[in-house]
Amino acid sequence: MNSDSNILKPEEYLGESYLNKERWASYSIQADLVHNFFPLGEILEIGIGNGIITEILRKKYNLTTVDINPCLNPDVVSSVDDLSGLPEYKFDASLCFEVLEHLSFKDFSKCLSELHRVTRHYIFLSLPYWGYTFGLKLKLPFLSVKQLKFKISGLKKHKFNGQHYWEIGKKGYSLKMIKKEINNSSLKIIKSFWDIDDPYHYYFVLKK
């Protein structure tokens, strides 16, 4: 569970350093994923942040929010590693965007288990993905957008920065290892990717 020093103040979520261009791209990707895979239903959102995604999704879904920080006024004050206050299989889908890295990696499988327990169908995750990024985005008339991209990772050891205990792409946290942990949790990865517009995050769509 997060310590008090690992919790941002509400106003920090609205600062220029937090709401950068890549962050807005992340919100767009998150919303598109949920809308494309799950058109209607009851959704659990873990980690409110500044509430932008919360407000977008509440226009369409029956949304319940969970956060460890009571100052953000979530529906339920709790950590993702202990969702015992929520009933089994209550939610059609659960969202956990940019949350799990704020807990020790030893709790990763436990968090996945908790998400599995309260969810009926889909789980949407995003996690930080460190690396030296190279990419090109092409937008041509009458054609879909094309991305040419690659990332060099695994060269740097992670040091706790007051927020993240670990990140994909750091030494000891390869993408292959993360995918293996997910597969071991009885969840099926049906989509996974990173995007040039938001190269720091890796996205997963999981199905029970």
Report d(CA 170, CA 176) in Å as an integer. Answer: 12
Do residues 99 and 46 make contact, with C-beta atoms less than 8 angstroms apart? yes
Question: Among 103-107, 132-136, 138-142, whose mean pLDDT is lowest?
Answer: 138-142
Give yes or no for residue 3 having a pLDDT over 50. Answer: no
Over residues 15-39, the pLDDT tens digits come to 666 677 888 999 999 999 999 998 8
Give yes or no for residue 101 having a pLDDT over 60. Answer: yes
What pLDDT score does 94 carry? 98
Tell me the sheet residues that pair with 202. 127, 194
Q: Which helix (H) or strand (E) element contains residue 182?
A: helix 175-184
Over residues 34-62, the pLDDT tens digits come to 999 988 899 999 999 889 999 999 999 99
Query: So where are the chain's domains?
Result: 4-207
| Among candidate residues 207, 204, 208, the one with its CA nearest the CA of residue 100 | 204
Is residue 160 classed as helix, strand or coil in its secondary structure? coil
Classify domain 4-207 at the CATH class level: alpha beta
What pLDDT score does 140 carry? 83
Residue 57's identity, in one-letter code, is L
